């Protein structure tokens, strides 16, 4: 791991830790995003509306037109209760506050009229008393609201039993409530709060608090109180989390078990608003009595009385984005309980999401730092898809609510930060390497260096290299014929065409020395079969030069005998490769005996009369190519002679019948030269004839061979040892 990568990992992990702590704090923006996500789930698959024994008696516009503006006198509400009770309603729950005396009561009206004897008012009926008598002994549940003033606490009509720790010590939500009329409070079978989302600034009602607490007592809401009264149950059985005071998990209401959040809320799984859910109050209060259809709908049903009239401002927004009367949400809560279709967010969901952010964030940091950006992006997309799929299927098949966006957003931030650091720092180093070596190395070698920086050990490294020197023949004569600018153009054309074959065969271009090229293989990274790749590069240079000469690419207009020629020398041996030069300016190069031997072999091309010569150490690793012995030559600076071979062609040439015939003649020739046989001249002529059928360049080689008989004498032991080295 490089230092830049280490820094990148540290920075990435710090970002992951920060995001993990941010999620643990669960700021408001996270809650908002989570709520919107769960809303979208419900919009995709809302709860199916099923006919349930739950109805809303709607004080709608038609009812107000029929009986006048709201609030109605309570004797009319008493009539409503009596008729609903007579029709067999199992519970009658009012989503209405009765905190003030009925101002339309005759007794109260007379009292407010000046000049009338107050004692007369006492003889007139009181609507509150009429209403109180009507609800007595009936399954009526009244609602109370929350208030910012006073310290009123309504009486609790039900008992509470607990399994596990008691949730009464939960954080207080109920500060104060609006008081009920005493006679109504006493005669009601149940009392429940009508608040749908207290303390929540969002207009969307996603969860309904079934129980509120002031730290001493629990208070049920209107929906569960209506369900309790309808079943004739006297006690709520609340389950708390083991060893965790104040945490609710579920409540048993008669025959129904309802999952709760830790704060005692029920996640609303709403269905689209349907007309079948509502019955107009006008139909119940009709002079001739309710129709048989209305009576049948109310019989055995839990009835909620509320208003949908526009001016009464009791319109709420559901998770489906619908504007509905608040009373319908109480009805939907009971429908959901009766149907058994629940949504729940386990108390360990937050911990799981926090852990997911930490684990996936660390994974993304590692992947982004050590793998290519494309792979890191694919991993990020897979993580996003997995989070979405897991969250969706948990909702669809188990009704569990897990937030996919917090891990996705945190992962995206982590991925962006790590990728940005990589682009600014880590990839900048790779770009510097690419710029430094792009003109000298093949793309495959560059890729390996970029992804394995340890393979590039600069500063001097002993390695086995295959070294190549290329030199232009008769360059002095050519330069004398040309202007200086034309000489530069000639060299650029030639060296560019030849050097491409070095790069194409995974070689490293060391330098251009005037009209010469120095290249080597097996550095800065290991190159498999580097000897053969060097020889193939030399053969490709031969073909390219022939094409350039044939097309007069240099614009010389020379005759056939004046074409440009090159000499190539190749040797394999130990050399030191690394940065050479000063601290402020250096070159990546190779030095050593192997470099010197390759240069000397190239200079022998003139003497031998052939364009590609390799040492015996290179030839031993070149399998199947067309090679012929060129003798053991004394090289400048070397005490022993070096065995040299001429490269006639590749494996295709070596497999040809013509080369097989040439090999036989050449072997006979070398044996004759070893033994000073007089038959050597005849064999030279025969070899020329055979060589012409293989490659034209061997004519000069055999013409000069008769003058190099010393090179083919029996090689002394020390020469053989030198060749083996």
Per-position DSSP letters for 423-452, written without gaps between them: IIIIHHHHHHHHHHHTTTS-HHHHHHHHH-
SS3 string, 651-671, reads: HHHHCCHHHHHHHHHHHHHHH
Residue identified by tokens 């790749």 is: 533
Alpha carbons 576 and 352: distance in angstroms, whole number: 57
DSSP state of 315: E
Run of H or E residues at 500: helix 484-504
Which residue reads 């993304």 in tokens?
364
Query: Mapping DSSP to helix (H, G, I), strand (E, B) and coil, where does residue 400 land?
Result: strand
Query: Within its chain, how far is the Cα of 603 from the centroid?
Result: 59
Return the pLDDT at 519. 95
Integer angstrom CA distances of residue 376 from 25, 132, 369, 452, 611? 28, 71, 9, 18, 50
Those residues of the chain that have pLDDT short of 70 are: 1-2, 4, 110-123, 148, 150, 169-179, 243-246, 311-313, 425-459, 557-562, 581-586, 678-680, 696, 714-725
Q: Which pLDDT belongs to residue 436?
A: 59
For CA atoms 73, 78, 84, 90, the dihedral sign is positive
pLDDT score at 56: 95
User: What's residue 76's pLDDT?
Assistant: 92
pLDDT, position 304:
96
Claim: this prediction has a pTM higher than 0.75: no
Specify whether the CB–CB gap between 308 and 58 falls below 8 A: yes
> Cα-flanking dihedrals φ and ψ of residue 141, to 5°?
-115, 125
Q: Map residue 149 onto helix, strand or coil.
A: coil
The residues, ordered by sequence, that sit 6+ positions from 162 with a Cβ below 8 Å of its Cβ are 237, 238, 239, 240
Q: What is the DSSP letter of 279?
A: E
Residue 569 has a pLDDT of: 96
- Which pairs with CB-CB distance under 8 Å and at least 24 residues apart come from 562-565? 564/472, 564/473, 564/478, 564/494, 565/472, 565/473, 565/474, 565/611
What pLDDT sits at residue 12? Answer: 82
Q: What are phi and psi of 3, to 5 degrees?
A: -65, -40
Residue 154: is it exposed, middle or buried by C-beta count within 10 angstroms (0-12/13-18/19+)?
Answer: buried
163 neighbors 243 (Cβ within 8 angstroms): no
Q: What is the β-pairing status of strands 140-144 and 235-240?
A: unpaired
pLDDT digits (tens, 9 = 90+) for 656-678: 988 888 888 888 888 887 777 76
Cβ atoms 248, 167 nearer than 8 A:
yes
CA separation, residue 21 to residues 28, 405, 454 (Å): 14, 16, 36
CATH annotation of 457-622: 3.30.70.1230
């Amino acid at each position: 791991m490089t230092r830049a990568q280490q820094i990148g990992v540290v920075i990435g992990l710090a970002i992951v830790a920060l995001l993990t702590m941010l999620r643990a704090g669960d700021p408001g923006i996270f809650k908002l995003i989570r709520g919107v996500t769960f809303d979208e789930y419900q919009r995709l698959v809302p709860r199916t509306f099923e006919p349930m024994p739950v109805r809303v008696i709607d004080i709608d516009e038609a009812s107000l037109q029929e009986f006048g503006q709201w609030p109605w006198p309570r004797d009319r509400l008493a009539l409503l209760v009596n008729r609903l009770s007579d029709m067999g309603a199992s519970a009658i729950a009012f989503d209405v506050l009765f905190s003030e005396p009925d101002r339309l009561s005759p007794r109260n009206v007379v009292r407010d009229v000046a000049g009338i004897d107050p004692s007369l008012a006492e003889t007139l009926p009181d609507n509150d008393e009429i209403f109180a008598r009507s609800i007595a002994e009936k399954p009526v549940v009244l609602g109370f609201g929350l208030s910012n003033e006073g310290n009123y606490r309504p009486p609790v009509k039900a008992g509470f039993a607990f399994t596990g720790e008691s949730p009464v010590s939960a954080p207080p939500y109920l500060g104060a409530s609006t008081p009920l009329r005493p006679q109504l409070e006493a005669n009601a079978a149940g009392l429940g709060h009508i608040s749908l989302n207290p303390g929540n600034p969002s207009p969307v009602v996603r969860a309904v608090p079934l129980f509120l607490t002031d730290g001493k007592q629990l208070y049920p809401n209107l929906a569960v109180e209506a369900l309790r009264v309808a079943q004739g149950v006297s006690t709520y059985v609340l389950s708390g989390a083991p060893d965790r005071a104040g945490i609710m998990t579920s409540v048993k209401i008669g025959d129904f078990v309802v999952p709760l959040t830790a704060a005692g809320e029920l996640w609303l799984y709403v269905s689209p608003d349907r007309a079948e859910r509502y019955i107009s109050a006008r139909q119940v209060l009709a002079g001739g009595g309710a129709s048989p259809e209305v009576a049948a709908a109310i019989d055995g049903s839990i009835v909620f009385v509320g208003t949908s009239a526009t001016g009464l401002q009791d319109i709420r927004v559901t998770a489906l984005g619908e504007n509905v009367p608040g009373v319908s949400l109480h009805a939907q809560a009971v429908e959901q309980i009766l149907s058994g279709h629940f949504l729940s967010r386990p108390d360990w969901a937050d911990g799981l999401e926090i852990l997911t952010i930490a684990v996936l964030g660390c994974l993304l940091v590692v992947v982004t730092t050590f793998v290519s950006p494309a792979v890191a992006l694919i991993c990020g997309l897979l993580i996003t898809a997995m989070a979405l799929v897991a969250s969706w299927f948990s909702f669809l098949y188990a009704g569990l609510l897990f937030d996919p966006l917090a891990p996705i957003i945190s992962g995206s931030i982590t991925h962006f930060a790590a990728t940005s650091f990589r682009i600014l720092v880590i990839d900048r180093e790779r770009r510097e390497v690419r710029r430094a070596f792009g003109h000298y190395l093949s793309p495959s070698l560059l890729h390996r260096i970029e992804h394995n920086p340890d393979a590039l050990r600069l500063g001097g490294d002993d390695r086995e290299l295959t070294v190549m020197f290329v030199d232009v023949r008769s360059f002095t004569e050519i330069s004398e014929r040309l202007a200086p600018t034309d000489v530069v153009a000639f060299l650029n054309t030639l060296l560019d065409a030849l050097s491409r074959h070095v790069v194409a065969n995974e070689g490293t271009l060391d330098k251009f020395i005037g009209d010469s090229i120095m290249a080597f293989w097996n550095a800065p990274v290991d190159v498999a079969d580097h000897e053969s790749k060097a020889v193939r590069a030399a053969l490709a240079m031969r073909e390219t030069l022939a094409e350039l000469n044939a097309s007069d690419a240099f614009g010389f207009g020379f005759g056939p005998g004046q074409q440009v020629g090159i000499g190539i020398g190749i040797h394999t041996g130990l050399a030191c490769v690394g940065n050479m030069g000063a601290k402020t300016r250096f070159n990546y190069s190779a030095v050593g005996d192997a470099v010197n031997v390759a240069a000397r072999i190239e200079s022998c091309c003139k003497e031998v009369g052939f364009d590609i010569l390799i040492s015996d150490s290179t030839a031993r690793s070149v399998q199947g190519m067309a090679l012929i012995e060129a003798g053991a030559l004394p090289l400048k600076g070397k005490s022993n002679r070096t065995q040299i071979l001429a490269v006639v062609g590749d494996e295709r040439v070596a497999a040809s019948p013509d080369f097989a015939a040439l090999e036989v003649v050449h072997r006979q020739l070398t044996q004759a030269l070893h033994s000073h046989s007089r038959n050597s001249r005849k064999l030279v002529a025969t070899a020329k004839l055979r060589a012409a059928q293989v490659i034209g360049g061997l004519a000069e080689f055999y013409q000069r061979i008769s003058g190099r008989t010393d090179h083919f004498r029996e090689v002394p032991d020390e020469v053989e040892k030198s060749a083996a080295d």
